[in-house]
């Protein structure tokens, strides 16, 4: 059997989603106090978890391809629209710092009992309406700016060997853990489950 299987039915959605939500909640990512503590550099869990996941998945895909199990070319890769990605990152990052969640973690927040996450999701839908209302040639032309013509992945666009990128990611991962743990020792340390359940702003 070769991958991907390209099964996009209900079962794969429910199973992958269940596991995704289960891990995110166990990582503490339903708590806006824990999530935004990354931006005060008190708690580096967001960087650590994301970076680790990226390295594990990227390495896995590389190994599968080397073994001939998978065709990585058949996977979805986002189009290299640099301007659109940069503006989107600025707004989603700003929204995260203000609202306490990103879109995926707001679902985790809501289903660990947080009413503010429901308000955030309402904001997501409103933001989509505002975007749809403004959508037209002007927004489209900005979103199309700075596309990398040579490819969508770092290896295609800049001719970097995939293994070199993975080694680089591993090095960055070690750096993130080292720097993160240093900051966490200097400050109050990661937000604990007790603090997260008590809610942001509780005396601790």
Residues 122-151 that bind other proteins (CB under 8 A): 122-133, 135-136, 139, 143, 148, 151
26 binds other proteins (CB under 8 A): yes
CB of 171 to other proteins, least distance (A): 15
115-134 and 82-99 are packed helices; what angle lies between their axes, rounded to 10 degrees?
150
CB of 44 to other proteins, least distance (A): 7
Residue 30 neighbours by CB distance under 10 Å: 25
- 7 or 185: whose CB is closer to other proteins? 7
80 binds other proteins (CB under 8 A): yes
Alpha-carbon gap, residue 135 to 151, rounded angstroms = 26
- 119 or 171: whose CB is closer to other proteins? 119
45 binds other proteins (CB under 8 A): yes
Residue among 65, 67, 68, 106 that touches other proteins (CB under 8 A): 106
Encoding tokens for residue 143? Answer: 């979103």
Q: Phi and psi at residue 145, in whole multiples of 5°?
A: -70, 150
Identify whether the C-beta of residue 102 lies closer than 8 Å to the C-beta of residue 91.
no
57 binds other proteins (CB under 8 A): yes
Residue among 119, 163, 171, 179 that touches other proteins (CB under 8 A): 119
CA distances from 74 to 4, 77, 100, 153, 160 (A): 7, 9, 35, 13, 19
Rg from Cα positions in the chain? 19
Residue among 75, 145, 163, 179 that touches other proteins (CB under 8 A): 75
CB of 153 to other proteins, least distance (A): 5
Alpha-carbon gap, residue 128 to 150, rounded angstroms = 31
Q: Which of 2, 11, 16 is nearest to 73 (CA)?
A: 2
CB of 96 to other proteins, least distance (A): 5
182 binds other proteins (CB under 8 A): no
65 binds other proteins (CB under 8 A): no
42 binds other proteins (CB under 8 A): no
């Amino acid at each position: 059997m070769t991958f991907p299987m390209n099964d996009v039915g209900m079962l794969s959605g429910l199973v992958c989603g269940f596991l995704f939500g289960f891990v995110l909640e166990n990582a503490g990512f339903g708590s806006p106090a824990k999530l935004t503590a990354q931006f005060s550099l008190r708690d580096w869990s967001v960087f650590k978890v994301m970076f680790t996941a990226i390295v594990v998945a990227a390495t896995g895909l590389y190994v599968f391809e080397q073994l001939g199990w998978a065709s990585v070319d058949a996977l979805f890769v986002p189009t290299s629209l640099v301007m659109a990605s940069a503006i989107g990152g600025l707004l989603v990052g700003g929204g995260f710092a203000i609202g306490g969640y990103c879109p995926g973690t707001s679902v985790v927040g809501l289903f660990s009992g947080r009413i503010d996450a429901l308000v955030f999701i309402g904001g997501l839908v409103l933001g989509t309406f505002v975007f749809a209302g403004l959508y037209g040639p002007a927004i489209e032309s900005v979103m199309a700016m700075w596309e990398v013509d040579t490819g969508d992945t770092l290896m295609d666009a800049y001719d970097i060997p995939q293994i070199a990128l993975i080694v680089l990611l591993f090095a960055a991962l070690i750096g993130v853990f080292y720097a993160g743990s240093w900051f966490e020792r200097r400050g109050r340390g990661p937000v604990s489950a007790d603090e997260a359940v008590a809610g942001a702003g509780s005396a601790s």
